[in-house]
Amino acid sequence: MLRNVAPLDRALRGGAAFVAANVAANLPDSKKPVKFGLLALAVVLGVTAAIGFCPLYRLLGISTRTAGN
């Protein structure tokens, strides 16, 4: 699996995952659908940031990495 996510993109994804997880953790239980949606988003962003590969980028033929990264 080739990496297609640049270091800056990975950092932004990691930060967004952190924010989404914290917002979800602080939502009341009455907002469970929103909470689960944010947690799912946080997991997807966190995993793609950690492994440096985005399946959606692959499907669309996008790569934010440069040749030297």
Query: Quick one: pLDDT at residue 14?
Result: 97
Which comes out higher in pLDDT, residue 6 or 1? Answer: 6
d(C-alpha 69, C-alpha 47), whole Å? 19
Q: Quickly state the pLDDT bin for 68 (edges 50, 70, 90).
A: low
Query: Quick one: pLDDT at residue 66?
Result: 83
d(C-alpha 18, C-alpha 67), whole Å? 29
**Do residues 2 and 62 make contact, with C-beta atoms less than 8 angstroms apart?**
no
Query: Quick one: pLDDT at residue 17?
Result: 98
pTM, two decimal places: 0.87
Domain chopping of the chain, boundaries: 7-60
Summarised one tens digit per residue, pLDDT across range 19-67 is 999 999 999 989 999 999 999 999 999 999 999 999 999 999 999 998 7
